Amino acid sequence: MRIRLSRALPVAAAVLAAVAAVAAVAARPVSAATADVPEPVPHAAPTADHATYIVTVREDADPAEVAERVGATPLHVYRTVLHGFAARLSPDQVEALRAMPDVETVEEDRGATGF
């Protein structure tokens, strides 16, 4: 089967033009959407001497009791995915928690990005 070049060129040009038009239209909303994305806002903005931390503790330790030992009031207590708590802590409380054998990690809570 032979295809005449005179017929194939207009068809190829039309297909190419259609693909280019679709690509141009599809690219516009994506670039406009990403330009309007606001900066992430931290869960709780730190004050001069307190910031929000996520503290994980050993499985056999009670997260609320560990927080109480340093005078912290938990904002959340976690018992499912991780074992620990979130609280606003002073630098002294962070240091005391990091020295406890029941505490596994003490990390400052930061906003998540990339979702």
Contacts of 82 by beta carbon, 8 Å cutoff, 6+ apart: 56
Residue 115 placed within a domain: no
Residue 21 has what pLDDT?
Answer: 58
pTM for the full predicted model:
0.57
- The strand ranges marked E within 5-112 are 51-57, 76-78, 84-89, 103-108
Judge whether 43 lies within some domain: no
CA distance 86 to 96: 15
Residue 22 domain boundaries: 1-37
For residues 29 and 77, membership in a common domain is answered with no
Would you give the end-to-end CA distance of the chain in angstroms? 52
26 located within any domain: yes
Asked whether residue 71 is assigned to any structural domain, the reply reads: yes
Residues 67 and 103 in one domain: yes
Q: Is the pLDDT of residue 4 over 90?
A: no
Number of independent structural domains in the chain: 2
Non-local CB neighbours of 51 within 8 Å, separated by 6+ positions = 44, 88, 89, 108, 109
Per-residue pLDDT reduced to its tens digit, 72-92: 999 999 999 999 999 999 999
101 inside domain: yes
